[in-house]
Structures are given as C-alpha cells and as structure tokens.
Structure 1
C-alpha cells in the first residue's frame, strides 16, 4: 500500500494544481494546463499516454451540443421557453426556481447532464435577465437539479453508464432503484437554495409585459428543422445502446445536420457559440486526473477506504456513499467511478457482502457528491461559463455556500434510503 516517488510527486502536482483552482489565484485553465505540463516535464507519463486520457466522447458531446444549441438560439425557441416559464410562474421567483429546477432534472434524466445545462442554461439566464432577478440561485439550483436528475437513470450521468455496464444493470433497474432518492434529493436541494437565497427569491412577482414578443420571433424556416433534429438527437440518446452509437457521434451528427440544413453563419456560430475555454479546461483536467489514475493513486485511495471495513454491509455502504461523495467533490466522478468499480466488486467477493446495494451506494455517492464544489461535475463548470457570459460570476468559494449543504443533505437522504430499502 506504500506509494513510490512517482506517485508522491504526482499527488503533489495534482494537489498543487487543484489548490490553485480552488484558491482562484490563477485562472483555472492556466492552472490545469500548468499541472499537465508539470507531469509531462517530470516524465510521470509520456505525451502519448497523457493525450489518451482525454475523454473525447465528452469533448465531442460538448462541442456538438454547443453548436446545436447555438443554432437553436437563432430560432427564438429559447425566448419562447422563457415566456412559457414566466407565464406558468406568473413571474414569481419562488415558482420560477421550482419550475426551472424540475424541468432541468427531468430533462437531465434522459439526456447527459452537460447536454441538459447547455439547453436549459440560456433559458434560465434569459428569464433572470428579463425579470431583473439575481441569476445566482437559479444557476446553482439548475446545476444541482441536473446532477440529481442525472443520477436517476442509466444514461443521465457518466458514472451510471460505467456502473450499469460493469454490473449489467438495465435502464429499468436504475429507475426502480434511483428514482426515489433522486426525487427526494431534488426537493431538498430546491428547498436549501430557497432558504439560502430567500432574500433574492422573496420579492413580489414581476410583470412579463414586453417579453411576449418572443412568440413572434420564431424563424419559420429554421425552427421546424431544428425541432426535428433535436427530436432525432434525443431519441438517439435514449437508444444509443441499441444503435451502438457513442454520445459524441450523436451530438456531432446532430450539429452537422443543423449546420447543413439551417441557413446560419457557420464560422460565426462556431467561433462564438463553442466555449473553447471550457473544452481546453476539460482536456487538461482529463489528462491530469488520468495521470493520477494511471499512477495508481486513486486505486490506492479506494483500497485504503474499503480495506478496513470488515464484513458489516451497512458500514460498507455508508463509507462508499460518503467516501464517494467527498472524493467526487474534488476529483471528476468519471475516473473515480472507474477506479471504484473493481474495488466494489472485490470487496463484495472477499467479504461475502451482497453487491447490489453497493452499486447503488456508489452511483448515489459519485453522482450527488459532484454538487459540493464547482469542479465536482462537468455540468457545474459548463453552467458557470454560461452564467459568466450573462454577467453572473460563480466563484469556487461562492459555490460552496450552497454546494456543501446541498451535497451533505442529499448524501444523508441517500444513506437513509439505502439503509431502509436494502438493510431494514
């Protein structure tokens, strides 16, 4: 279990990089690129290995959906969705945050949570801008809702896809076992945000006058074409296993179809709608975290976490939930889940523990723990960039104000659920 010099050096570089990201003393992209350059110069991994750690499925998914959402913006559909949200809520901030959070969670159950915030983010920002509302609680609630909603299904969050594949769990298995804790956690997260930002959400309803013109700005040519493409993309996401297509292939195909069939300025759209800063950050982060995983640091940490648990299945499940929750708040939950899957399997084999509750514990902890920090999940960073473009700066420390309480509360709910359902 002892670590060698390369592992200690890798851990030091990783810790220093994350320290710079957390402290915000250096731009997070600069910090992440500095970190990966350090591991390359120190020869902890070679360049070919480092680039192999980049999850191009995620990068391709992000790029494809950014382009597709950019075309959607040209239709006026986002403004129309904002009109509908305002209309249904009567301009009440409290009703709005509940409505938009539930909408985000539902969409995130059937689409990847990053794709979800790419679609709902501009809607939320547009609503807040028109009604002159502080966008911070709405953006945070949308982040929490996307991660919680994504936890409910097999395809909603990348860790679930990994766990489902390894454990041979179906889409229906996830719905049956994850829907209840996800629904309760969603309600708890919305309530937490409302309490923390009660002053911003207690104002009297705003008037939606002068925003109804959004109904008349729909492009009659582009709109139906984009709607057909969106429907096909969403259907393909739902059936991607049967179609044997990766998420990035689906998203990029949808983006290409939109660029080909819709009359838009392709160069202008790609330059302004694709968030290249986020893509570079993700690429550098994937390489850095992949290096840590490659050096065996994550695996050793996972073994250390479960090595002393004994044969008590309740303790095992609780440690997996809370350990996964804490670690996923710092390390991207995808490589963490990948490292933990063999650990969970080995633990169940050697201790004779029923493995099924352990899979759900891992899924709940790794998905919900990402709500604790700004870098805990990909959707968090993407939403922060969307909000920043609208003038709302979500800082790392500012995120913690709501992220820590929400994450702790949802992990507590998950713990109670697992204990009652599987060990009562």
Structure 2
C-alpha cells in the first residue's frame, strides 16, 4: 500500500506543480510514469490497468476533438475571430462580443481548442486597432471557461463527469446551462468596470508590438465549415435523443469528417490533444491502483465524519473548486467521480462539478488550460499578462460567478 500511495502522491504533486519535481517531466509524462510504475511493482495488474481506462470517455473525447479540429482546418475559428474583432463598435461593446463569442463557441465546441485557434488573431486585430489586448483576451478566456461549463460537450471535465455519472445531454444542460449563460454578463460587467479608461495603448507601444502580428490572410472554406456544422448539429441531436452511446456518436462523427477529399486527415488529427488523452488514460490507471488499497473509501468515511459529504452538491461544488486550482480541472473530476457514482442526484452532482471547476478556474492563470494557452500565446506577440494582472481580474470574476452558482445549486437541492 505504501508503494501505491507514493506513486499516487508523486503523480498528483506533478498535477499541481505542472511538472515532476527535480525532473523535466510534465503532467502527462508523470501520469504515464506513475501508471507504468504501479504496473511494474504489482500495485495493479496489466489486465486491471487496461480495464481501468474507460474507453467510453476516451472515445467521446477523441471524437469531439476531431469535430472541433475540423472547424480549425476549415478556417472557421480564424474567420470568426477576424469578423468579431473588426466590428465597428466601441471598446466596451467589442468586449461584450468577445465574451459572447468565447462563451458561445466553447459551449458547443471544446473550449481549449477554441482558445488555441482564436487567441493569436484576436491579439493581432486588437493591436491593429490600437486597443489594449489584455481585457479582451481575459474576457475571451474567462467566458470560454464559464460558458463551456453549461454543456456536456463544452470541456473535457464535463464529458468525463457526464460519462461516469451517466448524465444525459439535456439533463446536463438543464442544471448547468442557465448559470453558464448568466456568467457571461458577469464577466463582461466586471472587466468593463476594471478597464474603464484603459482600453487603448500608447501609439509608441502599439508600434513596438505590431511587428509580432501574423499577416496570414484568413480564408474560410465554406463547404467544409458547413459540413462540420452539419455534423455538429447531428451529434448534439443524437446526444439529446440518447438512443446511441455518446462515444459511438462522437467516433462516427469523427470518421465522417476524416473521410475527406479536400482536407488531409493528418491535418485534422493534428488538432487532437493527444497529451490530454494520454494524461486521462494514465490517471484512470493511477486512480484505480489507489482504489485497490481502499484508502479512498476510508477517506470518504473520514470526510463524512468531519461533516463534508461529497454527495451533497454544495459541498462538492466547494471541494471541486478548491482542488481544481491545485491539481487542475480534469484531475479533480477524475479524482472525485469514483466517490460519486452511487449518488442519487446525478444531475445536481454533475452541475456542481462543472460549475465548480469551470467558474473557479478563472482565479489564477494555472487554474485552467485555457488560461495557460491565452497567457503563453499572448506572450509570443509581446503582450504580457502577468500573474498579478490575471488574478486582479480573475478574483472578482471567479468570486461573483461562484456566488451566483452557489445560489443556483442551493436552488437545485
């Protein structure tokens, strides 16, 4: 048991720090090393490890990543970013459009892919207009995190929670959709207030940053975009009907989109986040190894003795929010879900996980992958978003959204 616990703790230390201390090993590497080490030392057998990897979750994630990748390759994200950012409106109204676009697209397509695809062009066009990119990028990032919390397909952690707890698409939307929608004007209002009078950059500073822009022309492949949109609508319809398994629907959609005479399947598959799929697979094995020691069951019993009942949506909401900023959204959901599979109020539990991990992830840069992506890509353009800058905006946004979501969860109970 000591060996299993050691490997488990090392993996989750890496989840929290972003790398394995003392080694050049990232989160994905740590999860895979931990899984292999558990098998090599007999903490879990290869057969048990294979069974532990939930093919349904991996299949659904992979399929939906391909669907989202098809939009990237068709030029839809870049075209949308350019159209949104070049509207003839004032800065506050433009921020509202950024927020609406970030929340809306992320609710229908995977939020991390949307952020990766659109951030560079949003930086370029805001600089071209002489605007300070920071409030617009923060608004887009925050909205992507909160808006994606509203649907089953909005983020990987939502897909994991829904699959493991057997929550339907409509069931998830009914309990998480409204607070996700309400979060968007909250994000806009706080950022508009914080950055009032700070919308523009000095001309000298704009000129220094402009050379970092990408001048690549944006071309929208209309037939391929329409094809991807039709497949997306079909996927959502199939999820709503619930006749076929989610992973089969997602994989079928992926297969149809990969069968293409114009766009190479290799280019679409480049958009799939293989690291995330490997990370989740490794964590399935590591968590299963720990479960064999019965420590999680003892921990759950102790938490109940301390008055923390994870089957209570409000308690779970607070717990998942805190953990997500320590070890990350996906590891948090995967760590907590085994405790919750027998809960009778699955929809409310799913909402607690989605809203807790989605809303509070805006507190700090490393609270979400979207935050990391925005900050790193902005830096490539010479636009610096410091930890303090992110947190000054993220703190009131997170707290306001969390307060609203807590009231909603109390209402659900």
When normalised by structure 1's length, the TM-score is: 0.70
1:141-290 pair list within 5 angstroms:
141-164=139-162, 169-197=167-195, 200-201=198-199, 218=219, 223-241=221-239, 242=243, 244=245, 246=247, 249=251, 252-253=254-255, 255-257=257-259, 260-262=260-262, 269=267, 274=270, 279-280=274-275, 283-284=278-279, 286-288=281-283, 290=285
Q: CA deviation at 1:96?
A: 2.0
Q: CA deviation at 1:322?
A: 0.8
Q: Give the corresponding residue for 1:12.
A: 9
Distance in 2 of aligned mates of 1:391 and 1:255: 36
Q: CA deviation at 1:217?
A: 6.3
Q: CA deviation at 1:122?
A: 4.9
**Residue 291 in structure 1 maps to residue 286 in structure 2:** yes
Query: Residue 72 of structure 2 contacts residue 117 of structure 2 at CA under 8 Å; is this kept in 1?
Result: no
Q: Give the corresponding residue for 2:306.
A: 308
Q: Give the corresponding residue for 2:352.
A: 361
Query: Residue 6 of structure 1 contacts residue 295 of structure 1 at CA under 8 Å; is this kept in 2?
Result: no
Q: Give the corresponding residue for 1:210.
A: none
Q: Give the corresponding residue for 1:343.
A: 339
1:127-146 pair list within 5 angstroms:
127-146=125-144
The secondary structure found in structure 2 opposite 1:156 is coil
Q: Give the corresponding residue for 2:210.
A: none
The secondary structure found in structure 2 opposite 1:261 is coil
**Residue 37 in structure 1 maps to residue 36 in structure 2:** no
Distance in 1 of aligned mates of 2:167 and 2:191: 33
Q: Give the corresponding residue for 2:211.
A: none
Query: Residue 71 of structure 2 contacts residue 225 of structure 2 at CA under 8 Å; is this kept in 1?
Result: no
Q: Give the corresponding residue for 1:351.
A: none
Change (3 A) 1:5 1:363: same
Is there any run of 5+ residues in structure 1 with no aligned partner, and where? 207-213, 349-353
Aligned partner (choices 312, 318, 324) of residue 320 of structure 2 = 324
Change (3 A) 1:306 1:200: farther
Q: CA deviation at 1:183?
A: 2.5
Q: CA deviation at 1:324?
A: 1.3
Q: Give the corresponding residue for 2:84.
A: 85
Distance in 1 of aligned mates of 2:193 and 2:346: 38
Distance in 2 of aligned mates of 1:396 and 1:303: 37
What does the per-residue CA deviation read over 1:55-83, in whole Å, with 9 as the maximum and x for residues that have no partner?
6437635762575244223xxx5554344
Distance in 1 of aligned mates of 2:48 and 2:94: 46
Q: Note the aligned Cα RMSD (angstroms).
A: 4.5
1:407-422 pair list within 5 angstroms:
407-419=398-410, 421-422=411-412
Q: CA deviation at 1:243?
A: 5.3
How many residue pairs get matched? 389
Is there any run of 5+ residues in structure 2 with no aligned partner, and where? 207-214
What does the per-residue CA deviation read over 1:300-345, in whole Å, with 9 as the maximum and x for residues that have no partner?
655544443289x9x9443221111111223344454355445346
When normalised by structure 2's length, the TM-score is: 0.72
Change (3 A) 1:299 1:192: farther
Q: CA deviation at 1:371?
A: 3.3
